[in-house]
Structure 1
């Protein structure tokens, strides 16, 4: 039994788009958009050279499993909103995976988390 969501050997990335914005916490995200409303999803990355982390778009192999999940539409409808100054409501990859009851991706020791408040 798998305890974590694992990268498949073959994948497509048809849903979600890379979105560049001027958010205080990140400058790139994966944006899911429908009828003028959007939801940004971010994932934390580690730079071993500078020993720092940053928030960016999610891995390409995660975009389709999220979007095609049976609970995604309800989650999207509850969180998505129209963009204000080019910014959309944001969730982390872990928040959305837990909300959809998907097995999470493995947690890295350098990861930080946002609490349950909006990002």
Structure 2
């Protein structure tokens, strides 16, 4: 009985910040998108896909969208399903300098990755591109 109880203690249901991580893939991209000003851009062969993550400003008690956590950029890019997801969703930059955009939760859900811990202040978009 004690062995079974201890197994549940070590199970992780959320993605946590690892002790060691790299940040080679994805770059910070600035544009005048109506939802955000800065995102993480995955770019390949003239096509790009922006990924954004929601943040909370303690001082003003407001939320805003920005680039994803740097420790998460490589984890997403190196996932086995990323290439297929990128090929399906990535497009060339439009006239306003914007690429198709998804939230970090949308891409993690699509890739079947463990989700980030959801904060109570987070809002969501529907499942379409932003």
Question: How far apart in 2 are the matches of 1:55 and 1:114?
Answer: 12
Looking at secondary structure, tell me which structure has more helix per residue. Answer: 2
Question: TM-score, normalised to structure 2's length?
Answer: 0.90
1:83 aligns with one of 69, 88, 93: 93
Aligned residue runs from structure 1 range 1-119, under 5 A: 1-84=11-94, 85-119=96-130
* Secondary structure of the structure 2 residue equivalent to 1:81: coil
Question: How far apart in 1 are the matches of 2:129 and 2:115?
Answer: 20
Question: How far apart in 2 are the matches of 1:97 and 1:118?
Answer: 14
Q: Once superposed, which parts of structure 1, at least 4 consecutive aligned residues long, lie more than 2 Å away?
A: none
Deviations 1:68-113 (A, max 9, x none): 0000000000100000021000000000000000000100000000
Report the alpha carbon displacement of residue 12 of structure 1 after superposing the two structures with TM: 1.0
Deviations 1:18-37 (A, max 9, x none): 00100000000000000000
Q: Name the count of aligned residue pairs.
A: 119
Q: Structure 1: which 5+ runs fail to align? A: none
Q: Structure 2: which 5+ runs fail to align? A: 1-10
| Structure number with larger C-alpha Rg | 2
